Amino acid sequence: MTNTKRVLVVGSGIGGATAAYALRRIGMDVHCIDTKPETPAAGAGICLLHNTMRALGTIGLAEPCLDSGLAFQVFKQHDATGKLLMSNPAPPGCGMRRPELARILEGAAQSAGALMEKSMTVSDLVDRGEKVEVTLSDGREEAYDLVVAADGAYSRLRDRVFGKEHAVRFAGQSAWRFNAPRPSEVDGFCLYRSADGKRTVGALPTSKETCYLFFLENSVEHLHMPDDQLHVLLHERLEAFSAPVIRDALAQVTGPAQVTFRPFDITLVPAPWHRGRVLLLGDAAHSPTPQMTSGGGMAIEDAVVLAECIAAQPTIPDALQAHSKRRFDRVKTVCDASLQLCRYEQDPVPDPQRSAALLLQTYQFLGQPM
C-alpha cells in the first residue's frame, strides 16, 4: 500500500499502543485516543511469553522490555509450604511491571509520531465505505481510512459495531494480585498449590528487585469485594500457605490499594474481526482467561500482524481479511487452552500434572509463526 492512510486507534492499552507504534512504523498517520486521563502509573506485573517477545522483537521493542523486566526460562511447581515439586524448562520469556510496559509502548508510539490523546473517546461513528466518519468526545469531526477498536474486553465499539451478543461472560474464576520485593527463588513462573490442589498462588519476577503474586479464586457468580477491605480479604484467603515466598510478600501488604481483584470475563468474537473499516484488536476481539499469560501477547501479535498485512496488501479491506485469516485459529487455540486450564483448576480434585502438560504443550504451539 503506497499512499498515506489515516487510522484511529481507540484505546492505548497493550494492544492499542502497540498498534499505534506498529502502524506508524509503516508510515500510517496514527491518531490514538483513550478515555483514561493518563498512562497508568500503578498496576501488577505481566508475563511476556517467548512468542510475545518475538513479536515485540520484530518492531524493535523486546530490548527495552528486557532492560526493564527480568528474563526467565523456568516453570516451577511447589506445595503450599514452598517445597519444590516440579521444575520444567520454559521457552525464554520476560516478566515486567505493567506500568513499565505501558510507558515503553506508548513512548515508542509517541516518539514515532503517533498523536496520542487522553481523556478522549468516540461519540459517534459512521462507516461510509471509503472512510469512517468519527465524532470525538470533544466535538471534533474526523475521517479515517481505518478504525482499530482496541478498547478492551468491555469494548463499547464492539457492542456498537458487532452487536451485544459478543459481550464477555464470567469464566468462574477471579484473580487477586499484588506486588512484592523479589526473593531469589522467584526466578521464573512459579506456582504454589494448597494440599487439596484447590487453591493456587503464582509468583513471577517483574524486575531484578520486584515480583508479583496472584491468587486464583473459584466462584459460580461474579464476586464483588469491598474496595477498602481487599488487603484483609487477601490475607484471610492465603492463610493456608506457609511458603516463605508468600508469607514474606504478604507481610508487605498493609493497605487495600496494594491489592487488585479482577474477575475473569471472557469472549472470543468469531472471524472476521472487522465490519467494513472497523477492526477489533486485542481483548475487544478475544479476552481469554489468563492461565496461558497470553491475552496481552495476543494483542501485541494482533498489532504486529496488522501492520504486516497493511504493508503487504493493496487495500485496507484486503488487509483486514488477511488479518483475521492469520489470527483467528491461533488465538482460538490459546483461548481454548487457557479456558481448559481454568476449568481444570475448578475440578473437585484438580490434577496439577495434567495442567502442567497442557501449559507446556501450548507453550510449544506458541512457538509457531504468528
Ligand X SMILES: Cc1cc2nc3c(=O)[nH]c(=O)nc-3n(C[C@H](O)[C@H](O)[C@H](O)COP(=O)(O)OP(=O)(O)OC[C@H]3O[C@@H](n4cnc5c(N)ncnc54)[C@H](O)[C@@H]3O)c2cc1C
Using alpha carbons, select from 266, 282, 257, 277 the residue that is nearest to residue 320.
277
Using alpha carbons, select from 278, 343, 261, 370 the residue that is nearest to residue 316.
278
Q: Please, what is the minimum distance in Å from the beta carbon of residue 84 to ligand X?
A: 22
Looking at residue 118, the DSSP 8-state letter turns out to be S
Cβ neighbours of 276 (radius 10 Å): 15
Residue 290 main-chain phi, psi, to 5 deg: -85, 5
Q: Please, what is the minimum distance in Å from the beta carbon of residue 262 to ligand X?
A: 5
In the bound state with ligand X, the residue whose beta carbon lies nearer, of 77 and 291, is 291
Q: Please, what is the minimum distance in Å from the beta carbon of residue 282 to ligand X?
A: 2
For residues 168 and 231, what is the distance between their CA atoms, to the nearest angstrom? 27
Sites of contact with ligand X (CB under 6 A): 10-16, 33-36, 46-47, 52, 121, 150-152, 156, 175, 177, 262, 282-284, 290, 293-297, 299
Q: Please, what is the minimum distance in Å from the beta carbon of residue 34 to ligand X?
A: 4
In the bound state with ligand X, the residue whose beta carbon lies nearer, of 168 and 311, is 168
Looking at residue 351, the DSSP 8-state letter turns out to be -
For residues 307 and 59, what is the distance between their CA atoms, to the nearest angstrom? 10
Q: Please, what is the minimum distance in Å from the beta carbon of residue 2 to ligand X?
A: 29
In the bound state with ligand X, the residue whose beta carbon lies nearer, of 294 and 324, is 294
Using Cβ positions, the residue closest to ligand X within the complex turns out to be: 13
Q: Please, what is the minimum distance in Å from the beta carbon of residue 8 to ligand X?
A: 10
DSSP for 42-83, written as a single string? ---EEEE-HHHHHHHHHTT-HHHHHHHSEEEEEEEEEETT--
Residue 87 main-chain phi, psi, to 5 deg: -135, 125
Which residue, chain included where needed, has cell 522490555? 65
Please give the C-alpha separations between residue 69 and each of 73, 98, 366, in angstroms, as whole numbers.
13, 10, 21
In the bound state with ligand X, the residue whose beta carbon lies nearer, of 16 and 350, is 16
Alpha helix segments (H runs only) across 135-216: 156-162
In the bound state with ligand X, the residue whose beta carbon lies nearer, of 136 and 319, is 136
In the bound state with ligand X, the residue whose beta carbon lies nearer, of 136 and 250, is 136
In the bound state with ligand X, the residue whose beta carbon lies nearer, of 1 and 263, is 263
Diameter of the chain measured on Cα atoms: 62
In the bound state with ligand X, the residue whose beta carbon lies nearer, of 69 and 295, is 295
In the bound state with ligand X, the residue whose beta carbon lies nearer, of 34 and 187, is 34
Q: Please, what is the minimum distance in Å from the beta carbon of residue 182 to ligand X?
A: 16
Task: Return left, alpha or beta for 60; rule: phi > 0 is left, psi -120 to 50 is alpha, else beta.
Answer: left
Cβ neighbours of 216 (radius 10 Å): 21
Burial of 26 (C-beta count, 10 Å sphere; 0-12/13-18/19+) = middle
Q: Please, what is the minimum distance in Å from the beta carbon of residue 89 to ligand X?
A: 19
Cβ neighbours of 319 (radius 10 Å): 23
Q: Please, what is the minimum distance in Å from the beta carbon of residue 35 to ligand X?
A: 4
